[in-house]
Amino acid sequence: MKIFKFGGASVKDAASVKNVSMVLESQGFEKCLLVISAMGKTTNELEKVVELYFSKENYQTEIEKIKQKHIEIAEGLFPENHAVFAEINLFFDDIDSFLRRNKSPNYNFVYDQVVSCGEMISTKIVSEYLNEIQFKNQWLDARDFIKTDNSYREGVVNWEKTEEFISHLSKEICYVTQGFIGSDENNFTVTLGREGSDYSAAIFAYCMSAEAMTIWKDVPGVMTGDPRKFDDVSLLSNISYEEAIEMAYYGASVIHPKTLQPLKQKNIPFFVKSFVDPSKAGTKVGVSDKNQSEESYILKENQTLLKISTRDFSFIAEDHMSLIFNNLAKYKIKVSLMQNSAISLELCLEDKFNNVDELNEELQKVFKTDVIKNVSLFTVRNVKKENIDKFYQGKSVLLEQIANNTLQMVTQ
C-alpha cells in the first residue's frame, strides 16, 4: 500500500485535479490511499466565515462565494447533471445549518466543525472525478478512522483506537480521504493543527504499514532553503529522518513537524516530489548511505520574543520554570528557541492562537516581562563555521545561539 498526499495547490482548480490523475497514471494507481487537502485557499476562506460568524456579521455571502468556486471547479470536470453538484450543495447547506443552530461559544470547536468542510468537499470532488475516468476508488470519511481527544484545532491522536479502525481497511483497493481532520469520542470533528494533512498521511502510512509515502508539492523536493526567501538554494535528494525532523522542528515549511516520527518508527520511506514534474526523483527521506548534511536555511516569521526575569533579582529556579511552562501549555504557545541565565529567561514563541497577551498578563503577576512581537527566527543547519560572520550582516540580532552545528538568531 502506497500513501499519496496532495495539498491545496495541487487541487486548486479543474486543471489541477486533472493533473492529479496524470500524476497517478505516471505512478501507478493501484493499492494506494490518497490524502487530499482543501482546494486552493478554501481553508483561509472558511476561517473568514468563522470570524464573521463570531463578530455577528454576514457570513452567508462568504459561504455562497466559496460554494460557487467549488461548483465552477466541478463544472470543469463533470457533465452538468452529475450527482456531485447535489453533494456540493449539501456540504455548504450543512455549514450554514450548523452555524444557525450552534449554541457553543467555543471558537475552537466552531472553527473545527466549519473549516473541516473544505477537506470533505475537495475529496468528494476528486474521488468522483477519478471514478468518472475509471480510476476506481472508495471515498472515506477520515473522522471514522482517525480518533482524537477534544483539543479542538490541535487534536491529539488516540493511536490505539486509530490503529484499530484503520486496520479494517483493505490493502488491495484504492481510497480517497481527507487530511487535517479526525473526531473525538462524541464524533465531533477535531482538526490536527494548521497544515496537518501531511500528518494525516503519516498516520495512515503508519497504521497500514505502507511501503512508502509521497507528498506532492509545487516544489522539486526539500531544498536547502525556501527559494522564495533565499538565493542559491539546491535540492536535497537524500536526507535522514533525523535531519528532516530537525528541519521541520526549526520551521521548514515543506515538512509538517509531526509527520516524520510515525514514519521513522516503521522505517517507511518518505518522498517529497513535484506534481508539476512527477518524473523527477524529488527528495527521499529515510535510511541511506547517500544521505546529505548540507548547509540549510530556515526562516520562521511572525514570532514573539518574551523576556522574563524575577522582580526581586533572585535566580530563575525550577519552580519558576515549572510555572512558566505550565502557562505556555495552558495557552497553547510553542517555544521555538529558549535561552536562560541565572536571573532571566528569553523565549522565542510561536503563537498560533493569538494568546501571547493573555500569557504575558498571567506571567506579570509573578515576573517582570518584556514582549517584542513580529520578530523572525533565522536558523542555519549544518552551518560552516568559516561562513558564520556573513549571516550577521544587515541584521538586528536580539538573541543568538549556536549548538550542534546549528546557528539560530532572533531578528527584527
**Contact yes or no for 329/313 (Cβ under 8 A):** no
Query: Is residue 195 pLDDT above 90, yes or no?
Result: no
Q: Which helix (H) or strand (E) holds 237?
A: none
pLDDT score of 403: 87
Distance CA 315, CA 188 (A): 46
Look at residue 291 in the predicted model and tell me its pLDDT: 92
Is the pLDDT confidence value at 324 over 90? Answer: yes
Given this model, what pLDDT does residue 257 score? 81
DSSP-assigned beta bridge partners for residue 368: 309
Given the candidates 3.40.50.300, 3.30.1330.10, 3.30.930.10, 3.40.1160.10, the CATH classification of the domain at 2-217 is 3.40.1160.10
Residue type, 215: I
The string of pLDDT tens digits covering residues 43-74 is 999 999 999 999 999 999 999 999 999 999 99
pLDDT at position 313 over 80: no
Question: Domain segments of the chain: what residues?
Answer: 2-217, 296-411
Ramachandran quadrant class, 140 (left: phi over 0; alpha: psi -120 to 50; beta: rest): beta
**At residue 404, does pLDDT exceed 90?**
no
pTM of the model: 0.91
Q: For all residues of the chain together, what is the average pLDDT?
A: 95
Q: What share of the chain in percent tops pLDDT 70?
A: 100
Buried b (16+ CB within 10 A) or exposed e, 235-264: bbbbbbbebbbbbbebbbbbbbbbbbebbb
Residue 249 reports pLDDT greater than 90: no
Instruction: Please state, in angstroms and as integers, the Cα–Cα distance from residue 232 to each residue in 76, 227, 291, following that order.
Output: 39, 8, 20
Place 179 in a pLDDT band, splitting at 50, 70 and 90.
very high
* Cα–Cα distance measured from residue 145 to residue 233, given in angstroms and rounded to the nearest whole number: 39
| CATH fold of 296-411 | VC0802-like (3.30.2130)
Residue 342 confidence (pLDDT): 85
Q: Any idea which of 42-51, 131-140, 218-227, 359-368 has the lowest mean pLDDT?
A: 218-227
- Please report the pLDDT score of residue 376 as a whole number: 97
- Compute the average pLDDT of residues 82-109: 97
Residue 314 pLDDT grade (very low, low, confident, very high; cuts 50, 70, 90)? confident
Q: Give the C-alpha separation, 59 to 110, whole Å.
A: 14
Which pLDDT value is given to residue 11? Answer: 98
Q: Given this model, what pLDDT does residue 172 score?
A: 94
Cα angle at 144 between 5 and 27, to 5 degrees? 25
Question: What SS3 string covers 163-220?
Answer: HHHHCCCCCCCCEEEECCEEECCCCCEEECCCCCHHHHHHHHHHHCCCCEEEEEECCC
Query: For residue 400, what is its C-alpha cell?
Result: 543568538
Contacts with 29 (C-beta within 8 Å, 6 or more apart), sequence order: 130, 135, 174
